[in-house]
């Protein structure tokens, strides 16, 4: 009897990501994993734990906290870390503002851009030689240019014109002290892959990813949930709508979308029919300029 072993599309993506985690753990000194509590970082954490099971994941997780994150996401982050016995490092944007290392445009302004300095400080203070991030190539055109192993110089900067070739699954993580490698195990995944995997594996997410009635305001073509960070401006009229979030970020600039998707299967169907990426639909900071993300990445952003 001949037994035929066939991998599905998700099996192949999972195998590639697991191999990347093991490659980094075997070759890089002191890695760390960026964990925001968003769907991509939750899937990345799930894959990292699979890569080393039944042993404990051999590196800590780090959250760059803007100080304006959704409360639900912070609760989920803390619960997940405690449940799996992980070591959590919080790099706080508020600490950098208080110390005068970063400056807000005004109180309540989006802090996504300020995350870069805090991220770089966190990498240096913890001596990370490699940092895992949950970015995917299908999210945004600057991220589509990234390699799986992304070299960053001693200032944490990325040069899109000077990237290392990656043939098959051969990666080059060599760097000198002070430089580091950003590693993106989900590079070849799409938003639909992520949700299909969440459904298949039964992965828990913050409930903000699922539809419920929320009080929102419409601002610059986006729906923003009214919360302690987002108050209606003069002329804005709050209203209730069935919405869910496609991404997680700073609460002041992360919008939600109208939706009835209340389960992972519902979201898979919705994403399959979508024609706008999640960042294009819900992230005001990406609308600053055509090259907004690429400019931030050159400075050291995720």
Average pLDDT, the chain: 92
Residues 22 and 97 in one domain: yes
271 close to 138: Cβ distance less than 8 angstroms:
no
CA distance 226 to 235: 14
Give yes or no: residues 170 and 33 share one domain. yes
Task: Give tens-digit pLDDT for 122-150.
Answer: 999 999 999 999 999 998 888 888 899 99
pLDDT at 220: 87
Lowest-pLDDT choice from 74-83, 92-101, 108-117: 108-117
- One domain for residues 161 and 26: yes
Residues 211 and 154 in one domain: no
* Residue 21 clears pLDDT 90, i.e. is over it: yes
Residues 151 and 210 in one domain: no
Residues 46 and 96 in one domain: yes
What's the CATH number where 65 sits?
3.40.50.620
14 & 60 share domain: yes
Note whether residue 213 is domain-resident. Answer: yes
Q: pLDDT value at position 259?
A: 96
Is 161 within the bounds of a domain? yes
Give the range among 61-70, 82-91, 127-136, 137-146 with minimum mean pLDDT: 137-146
Does 176 score more than 80 pLDDT?
yes
In this structure, what token pair is assigned to residue 274?
């979508």
Residue 113 lies in a domain: yes
Confidence of residue 2 (pLDDT cuts 50, 70, 90): confident
What pLDDT score was predicted for residue 106? 82
Mean pLDDT of 177-195: 96
Residue 279 has pLDDT above 80, yes or no: no
Average pLDDT for residues 75-100, to the nearest whole number?
Answer: 96
Is 199 a domain residue?
A: no
Both 160 and 248 in one domain: the answer is no
Determine the average pLDDT of the residues in 55-79.
96
Q: Is the pLDDT of residue 297 over 60?
A: yes
Per-residue pLDDT, 67: 94
pLDDT confidence of 284, banded at 50, 70, 90?
low
Residue 27 lies in a domain: yes
Report the domain count for the chain: 2
* Statement to judge: residues 156 and 78 lie in one domain: yes
Domain that holds residue 131: 9-193+290-299
Whether 289 has a pLDDT exceeding 70, the answer reads no
Q: Are residues 121 and 216 in the same domain?
A: no
For residues 81-102, average pLDDT: 95
Q: Residue 267, class by beta-carbon neighbours within 10 Å (0-12 exposed, 13-18 middle, 19+ buried)?
A: buried
In this structure, is residue 3 part of a structural domain? Answer: no
pLDDT given at position 290: 60
Range with the poorest average pLDDT among 28-32, 165-169, 216-220, 221-225: 165-169
């Amino acid at each position: 009897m001949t037994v035929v072993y066939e991998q599905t599309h998700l099996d192949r993506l999972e195998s590639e990501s697991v191999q990347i985690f093991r490659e980094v753990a075997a070759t890089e000194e002191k890695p760390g994993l960026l964990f925001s509590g968003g769907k991509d970082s939750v899937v990345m954490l799930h894959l990292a734990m699979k890569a080393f099971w039944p042993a404990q994941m051999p590196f800590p997780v780090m959250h760059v906290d803007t100080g304006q994150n959704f409360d639900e996401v912070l609760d989920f982050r803390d619960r997940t870390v405690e449940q799996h016995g992980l070591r959590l490092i919080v790099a706080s944007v508020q600490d950098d503002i208080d110390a005068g290392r970063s400056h807000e445009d005004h109180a309540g302004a989006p802090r996504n851009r300020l995350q870069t300095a805090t991220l770089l400080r966190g990498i240096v203070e913890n001596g990370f030689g490699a940092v895992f991030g949950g970015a995917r190539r299908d999210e945004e055109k600057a991220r589509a240019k990234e390699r799986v192993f992304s070299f960053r110089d001693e200032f944490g900067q990325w040069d899109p014109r000077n990237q290392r070739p990656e043939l098959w699954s051969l990666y080059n993580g060599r760097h000198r002290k002070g430089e580091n490698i950003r590693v993106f195990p989900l590079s070849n995944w799409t938003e639909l892959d992520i949700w299909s995997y969440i459904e298949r594996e039964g992965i828990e997410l913050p409930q903000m990813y699922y539809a419920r009635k929320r009080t929102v305001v419409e601002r610059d073509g986006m729906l923003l949930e009214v919360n302690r960070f987002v108050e209606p401006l003069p002329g804005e009229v709050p209203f209730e709508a069935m919405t869910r979030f496609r991404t997680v970020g700073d609460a002041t600039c992360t919008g939600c979308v109208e939706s009835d998707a209340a389960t992972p299967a519902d979201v898979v169907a919705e994403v399959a029919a979508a024609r706008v990426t999640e960042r294009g639909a819900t992230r005001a900071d990406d609308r600053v300029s055509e090259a907004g993300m690429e400019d931030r990445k050159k400075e050291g952003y995720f």
